Structure 1
């Protein structure tokens, strides 16, 4: 069997910016002294006159991006998720969200898989923060193909967008030749009738692996990729819940305020359904190898299998 190709979605982000930059002269990129880590350096190398380093001053970077967006340009502002969503929250809310400006935020290094950088950098609260801002689109891609399509869709969307990209390399599960992405739409990656596993980010590949294991034990799991957390694909979530009768959500984020809570909020109002949420359980992370941390915090295929089996 051929080895599965793995690419970090932060690399996909940098490559997508470069590709879009060659087509759209109004695209500009701002970074907070992290161009090498966020991979906006890829864009900088190709278009140095349209890349601006704002230094370690994320709040200022967001304010500058907001101003530039009023001049007919389309700014992508980038930093680690902890700083783009956390440190600069007030500027994102008041300078971008409130006036509903056309600013795109590319946040990298989200979640536990930041690894050795530890709890101060392992942002597991960004979905919750960004979801709370009216009119903000919130997304997290599952692989390289979806990430690049997501960046393109963000450029074409009129209004504020928050995208989270990962540090760790993840399997490429989509075929670029056939994949179609639309903001607010999820996708069924595997049909099933016993339980619907809904995931985003690096948890999508884990959900697919878990479904294979469950199938061997006679449990037919549906796997859904919800790359857009807000607006949620309500029609797809409701249809899957109705078909399977049970839902498991999986995210590299706190169980508070993220995908799981969005799904639970919808189902509790429109189609009460038993749900189990897999995520970070109201605790901070700590320093360690990314793979080991993901297993420790239950963000892995083995834990998904355990939860589903206990749910039957």
Structure 2
């Protein structure tokens, strides 16, 4: 099955978001879009051109944007807020908690330029804590798609979901999988069947996990590969079904090792079926300026790092 998983080209996940906005806006006239002076970076220019009356340029006032979005949701609109992930979460956490999550407002918080792969903008913009922050909010759905097509599908799907959503995606061009890859909120995607080790990956790290699984296969190691695009609600059934086959696990995320996908999986395992687990994530550190590839290598998120983590987990079985 791994031989059939190939890149069909490269596009940024933020481009997938823009395409998803175009599609859902044509379908649903209650969708409105707000931005904090980053329309170009979030790829919403087509929406602005086609639906100027449904577009709100808030300026560099992210906290105000969240409050306005909550008000629009009160009026029956489906607001999508758009800015960088750091400004979508860390800068406005109080507003999200009080005005959106606490009252379960139907606001879609759409966050680009997340993680180390933001690249040269450096540590101040490379938020690595956002998945943990958002998954701790009661009632918040947290989605981290892996490629252009999955991000497009997610941007469409969240309009049909009642309640607050955090949708995280990235800046760089990234390998794409097939366009017909299914997407359902809260339903993990089983990408390859295996018997030796479970690898759970999210976001850009899905591609790293695919490449690592192929390397492991060359050594006769069979990988059960699962794409966890929805961090919350987590597909516990898929996780447990996988580890019951394999007996050990690796979690892969472009995020701090504390609070994100790895921690979420660990909670499931310790409470239901304890097995050895290794974490591929940033180890309690901020990032720095560099190319995406350089940063993934330096901070332990390369393909080789996934392979090493898999071998450590196997050794602990």
Q: TM-score, normalised by structure 2?
A: 0.95
Please name the residue that 2:195 is paired with: 193
The alpha-carbon deviation at position 3 of structure 1 amounts to 7.0
Contact 1:146 1:174 in 2 (8 A): no
The alpha-carbon deviation at position 243 of structure 1 amounts to 0.6
Equivalent of 1:157, from 152, 161, 166?
A: 161
Gaps of 5+ in 1: none
Please name the residue that 1:38 is paired with: 42
Contact 2:105 2:164 in 1 (8 A): yes
Q: TM-score, normalised by structure 1?
A: 0.97
Contact 2:203 2:254 in 1 (8 A): yes
Equivalent of 1:203, from 195, 202, 205?
A: 205
Equivalent of 1:94, from 92, 98, 111?
A: 98
For residues 105-149 of structure 1, the C-alpha deviation after alignment (integer angstroms, 9 at most, x for no partner) is: 100000001111000000101000100100000010011111111
Aligned positions, number = 309
Please name the residue that 2:182 is paired with: 180
- Structure 2 residue 313 is the aligned partner of structure 1 residue 311: yes
Please name the residue that 2:274 is paired with: 272
Contact 2:257 2:280 in 1 (8 A): yes
Gaps of 5+ in 2: 1-5
Please name the residue that 1:132 is paired with: 136
**Kindly tell me: are residues 164 and 3 of structure 1, through their superposed partners in 2, closer, same or farther at Cα, counting changes over 3 Å?**
closer
Once residues 4 and 71 of structure 1 are traced to their aligned partners in structure 2, the CA distance between those partners, rounded to angstroms, is 41
The alpha-carbon deviation at position 23 of structure 1 amounts to 1.5
For residues 63-100 of structure 1, the C-alpha deviation after alignment (integer angstroms, 9 at most, x for no partner) is: 00000001111000011000101101111111000000
State how 1:18-37 maps to structure 2 within 5 Å. 18-37=22-41
Once residues 132 and 157 of structure 1 are traced to their aligned partners in structure 2, the CA distance between those partners, rounded to angstroms, is 19
- Structure 2 residue 181 is the aligned partner of structure 1 residue 142: no
4+ long deviations beyond 6 Å: none
Equivalent of 1:232, from 204, 209, 234?
A: 234
Once residues 65 and 45 of structure 2 are traced to their aligned partners in structure 1, the CA distance between those partners, rounded to angstroms, is 16
For residues 155-193 of structure 1, the C-alpha deviation after alignment (integer angstroms, 9 at most, x for no partner) is: 0000000000110111111332xx321111101101111
Contact 1:65 1:103 in 2 (8 A): yes
- Structure 2 residue 244 is the aligned partner of structure 1 residue 242: yes
Contact 2:277 2:313 in 1 (8 A): no
Contact 2:63 2:92 in 1 (8 A): yes
For residues 5-29 of structure 1, the C-alpha deviation after alignment (integer angstroms, 9 at most, x for no partner) is: 1111101101110111111111100
Please name the residue that 2:85 is paired with: 81
Please name the residue that 1:168 is paired with: 172
